[in-house]
């Protein structure tokens, strides 16, 4: 699956397919009764019975000069994850990446919109029992505020494990470049501050040949949150700020040609729907 944004091609590299009860636990307000009131969600973002769809994936962004992976899923062989099916996985992520035209060695940049467990897993893979970079020739771009927060505030077993097996090894290998909102890692990409879901969450604006897209990360886990702006995730760092960020983003991009790529859903365009928004 791929999309063209001017001279930029974006591929979806799936790590894991979820949905149903797992998404409802993440978005407890999104009951089946409420979801079926939004028929525009079906079939792309929800099932006819009201179950929400969700994938854990990377966006492979190919510019004329660079191969870029945005967010890296759950990864293989990781332990101490809070969800049993995230532990010691043996998925075919790297084979899917190769099918899209890139080997791990051909990746130039890895960008993490934020450093949650399901966005950093393939940063690393095991080699002789040690965690090392999956993409050995890439620079890894982390938001400086995001990294410093988790460096000091990883407290649960999962948070500690994620930092130790998927984040700190990249820093120790000298492959991390810290970035801030408005930084541009290349001609076509620019970081956008989108706070709320995590301490230093950022999205990525793409512009090429007059075409535009936004890789929004976890500003929303499902497009239903643009219709119900106060439906924040249970894992949001600041739920009020997350809601405000969604509102500001939707107001900016609604009724424009900009494609919005979710951290867990396929892209679409936002359109105004009264006082709220929907995705088409």
Mean pLDDT of 116-121: 98
- What is the residue-wise DSSP string for 107-130? --EEE-SS--GGGTGGGEEEETTE
Place of tokens 């999104």: 30
> Please, what are the domains in the chain?
2-279 (3.60.15.10)
pTM of the model: 0.96
Q: What 8-state DSSP symbol labels residue 262?
A: P
Q: Are 261 and 274 in contact (CB under 8 A)?
A: no
Distance (Å, whole) CA 44 – CA 40: 8
Q: How many CB atoms lie within 10 A of CB 28?
A: 11
Q: How confident is the model at residue 67 (pLDDT cuts 50, 70, 90)?
A: very high
If pLDDT is split at 50, 70 and 90, which confidence band does 124 have?
very high
CB 41 within 8 A of CB 30: no
Overall average pLDDT of the 101-129 stretch: 97
- The single-letter DSSP state of residue 23 is H
Please state, rounded to an integer, the average pLDDT across all residues of the chain.
96
pLDDT digits (tens, 9 = 90+) for 258-279: 999 999 999 999 999 998 999 9
Which pLDDT score is estimated for 19?
75
DSSP state of 14: E
Mean pLDDT of 68-86: 96
Can you give the pLDDT at residue 21?
72
- Taking the chain, what is the end-to-end CA distance rounded to the nearest angstrom? 17
pLDDT tens digits, 196-255: 999 999 999 999 999 999 999 999 999 999 999 999 999 999 999 999 999 999 999 999
Alpha helices, H only, the chain: 21-26, 32-35, 93-99, 144-153, 157-162, 168-172, 224-227, 239-253
| 262, 215 Cβ separation under 8 angstroms | no
The pLDDT score that the predictor gives to residue 61 is 98
pLDDT at 222: 97
Instruction: Give the pair of three-digit tokens for residue 102.
Output: 């890139």
* Structure-token match 């969600």, residue found: 41
Label residues 222-254 b or e (16+ Cβ within 10 Å = b).
Answer: bbbbbbbbebbbeebbbbebbbebbeebbeebb
Burial of residue 198, with CB atoms counted within 10 A of its CB: 0-12 exposed, 13-18 middle, 19 or more buried:
buried
What is the per-residue pLDDT for 23? 82
Q: Are 205 and 181 in contact (CB under 8 A)?
A: no
- Segment (H or E) for 142: strand 139-143
Say which residues have a Cβ less than 8 Å from residue 274's Cβ, sequence separation at least 6. Answer: none
Q: H or E stretch including 272?
A: strand 270-273
Residue 22: pLDDT band with limits 50, 70, 90: confident
Answer whether residue 128 shows pLDDT above 90: no
């Amino acid at each position: 699956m791929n999309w063209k944004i001017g001279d930029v091609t974006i591929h979806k590299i799936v790590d894991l397919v979820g949905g149903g009860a797992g998404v409802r636990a993440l978005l407890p307000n999104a009951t089946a009764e409420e979801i079926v009131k939004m028929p525009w969600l079906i079939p792309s973002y929800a099932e006819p019975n009201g179950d929400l769809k969700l994938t854990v994936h990377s966006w492979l962004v190919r510019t004329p000069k660079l191969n870029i992976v945005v967010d890296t899923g759950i990864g293989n062989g990781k332990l101490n994850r809070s969800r049993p099916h995230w532990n010691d996985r043996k998925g075919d992520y790297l084979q899917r990446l190769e099918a899209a035209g890139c080997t791990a060695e051909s990746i130039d940049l890895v960008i993490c919109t934020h450093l949650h467990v399901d966005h950093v897993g393939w940063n690393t893979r095991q080699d002789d029992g040690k965690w090392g970079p999956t993409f050995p020739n890439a620079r890894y771009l982390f938001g400086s505020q995001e990294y410093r927060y988790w460096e000091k505030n990883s407290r649960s077993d999962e948070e500690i494990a994620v930092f130790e097996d998927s984040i700190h090894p990249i820093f120790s290998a000298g492959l991390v470049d810290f970035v801030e909102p408005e930084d541009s890692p290349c001609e076509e990409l620019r970081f956008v501050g989108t706070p709320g879901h995590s301490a230093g969450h950022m999205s990525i604006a793409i512009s090429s040949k007059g075409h535009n897209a936004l890789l929004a990360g976890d500003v929303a886990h499902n497009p239903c949150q643009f219709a119900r702006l106060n439906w924040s995730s249970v894992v949001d760092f600041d739920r009020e700020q997350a809601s405000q960020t969604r509102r500001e983003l939707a107001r900016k991009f609604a009724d424009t040609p900009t494609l919005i790529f979710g951290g867990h859903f396929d892209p679409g365009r936002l359109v105004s729907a009264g006082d709220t928004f929907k995705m088409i």
